Homo-oligomer: A and B are copies of this chain.
Amino acid sequence: MQLHRIEPSEAFAKLFTRTIGLKEEEYVFVQAHFRREYLPRKHFLLRPGQVCNLHSYLNKGCARTYTLDDDGGEHILFFAFEDWWMGDLESIYTGQPSQLNIQAVEDCEFLCIPHTDFLAMESRFPKLKEWHEEKMFRNHYSFVSRLVEVKSLTTEERYLSLINRFPEIFQRVPLQYIASFLDIEPPSLSRLRKRLSGK
C-alpha cells in the first residue's frame, strides 16, 4: 500500500511554541524525542494485550479507538483527527496491558514519544507538565458532558450533535463506524438519515 508523502505539520510546532509556550530551542529539543510513524489504513497503533508506552500525536489522517466484546462486536469509543493525541493513558501510566484497539481509518502519520521520554520532558519543562494537567482537566469536562449527552438526548439528537460538532466526520469515516460510535446498528443509522433528509 502506497503512502503519500506528508509534509511536516505546522500545528505540531505551534502547539509547543504558541499553546504550551516553549522557546524555539526548547521546542527543537523536545521535538527531537518524537519519531514519525506511518500507519496505513486498517493497520493498528495498539492492540489488546499490548502495553501502550507511547504518547502519539496524530499529525495526519484519522483513527479510531474501539473495544471488542465477547461476541466479537466492535464498540468505538473515540475518533481522532489531525492535532489530536491518542494512546491508552491507563496502560501508559499503570504499565498494564491495554484492552483497546487503536486503528487507522485513513493512512495516518503519527508523531510518537515514549512515555519515559515524555516524563523527562515534563520535568525539564514545567510548562509542558502544566499543559498536560490542564489537558487532563478539559478531558474530564468532556467526559462529563458526553455522559450527560448519552443520558439525556435521543439517538436523533446525538446524531445531530455529532454532525454539528464534526461535520467533516461524514466525509472521512464509514457510516458503520459512525453507527458504532452512536451506539446503533448501521440499518438504524441508515433509516435515521433517510428520515432526516425528508425534513
A141 — which chain B residues lie within 8 A by C-beta? 89-90, 94
Q: Is A170 an interface residue (CB 8 A)?
A: no
A133 — which chain B residues lie within 8 A by C-beta? 133, 136
Assess the A140–B137 pair: CB atoms within 8 A.
no
Which residues of A121-156 are within 8 A (CB) of B?
A: 133, 136-137, 139-141, 143-144, 146-148, 150-152
Assess the B90–A144 pair: CB atoms within 8 A.
yes
Q: Is A75 an interface residue (CB 8 A)?
A: yes
Q: A-side binding surface: helix, strand, loop or mixed?
A: helix
Nearest chain B CB to A34's CB is how many angstroms away?
22
Assess the A67–B151 pair: CB atoms within 8 A.
yes
Interface centre among A73, A89, A148, A183 (most CB of B within 10 A): A148
Shortest Cβ distance from A139 into B: residue: B140
A150–B158 Cα distance when bound, in Å, is 15
Shortest Cβ distance from A180 into B: residue: B151
- Known contacts A140-B139, A143-B143; A148/B93 CB under 8 A: no
Q: Is A7 an interface residue (CB 8 A)?
A: no
12 contacts between A and B (CB under 8 A): A67-B152, A69-B152, A75-B151, A75-B152, A77-B144, A77-B148, A93-B137, A94-B141, A136-B140, A140-B143, A143-B147, A146-B147
3 tightest CB-CB pairs across the interface, nearest first? Answer: A75-B151, A69-B152, A143-B143
